[in-house]
Amino acid sequence: MTERLDALRGELRRGALTLAVLAALRGEHYGYSLRRQLLDAGLDIEEGTLYPLIRRLETQGLLESRWEAVDGRNRRYYRLSPAGRETLAALRMEWTQLLQVMQRIEGDSA
């Protein structure tokens, strides 16, 4: 039961993950700081899921990145690109509609 619930919960969260990452990257972050911010907000994402996702979003042109030397080593910083901002706005609208739909469904079946 717990395993099944975990799998379903993971599936549910995966859908919202892109939106959360895009929203968090309105400000500039490096990988670890992004993870911390999401964690502080209550979203615990595995590193193996989060970091490849950031790379994919960058490949899709939704994020911009730059390398910066910090304490004698390089660190990659990410932030939303103009296309990413547009996508975030569209996804937010979608998310709001989804919430409303869910509330209606919940209300109907209550």
Partner 1 sequence: MNWIDRYVRQIESCLPDRARADTAAEIRSLLQDSVCAQESALGRPLRDEETFALLKAFGHPLTVAAAYSDQGPLVSTALYPIYRLSLRYLATVLVAAWIVSVVGFYLNDRQPLWLAVGFWDAWQLGMFYTGVLTLGFHLADQSLRRYDLLSRWDPARLPPAAAERAPLLDTATALFFCLAWFVALSQVAATHSLDTLLGRTDNRLDTFVLWLKLQVLLALPVYVVLLVQPHWRRWQRALIIVGDALAVIGAGFALSIGTDRFAAQLQVLHPQSDSVQRVAMVSTLILVVWIGGLILDAANHGRQAWSGR
Q: Which residues bind partner 1 (CB under 8 A)?
A: 30-33, 36, 46-49, 51-52, 55-56, 59, 73-76
- Minimal distance in Å, beta carbon 55 to partner 1? 6
Element (H, E) at 96: helix 82-109
User: What is the DSSP annotation of 9-61?
Assistant: HHHHHHHHHHHHHHHHTTS-EEHHHHHHHHHHTT----HHHHHHHHHHHHHTT
- Nearest residue (CB) to partner 1, 14 versus 56: 56
- Nearest residue (CB) to partner 1, 71 versus 108: 71
- Nearest residue (CB) to partner 1, 75 versus 85: 75
- Minimal distance in Å, beta carbon 46 to partner 1? 8
- Minimal distance in Å, beta carbon 32 to partner 1? 4
Upper half-sphere CA count for residue 94 (Cβ side, 13 Å): 10
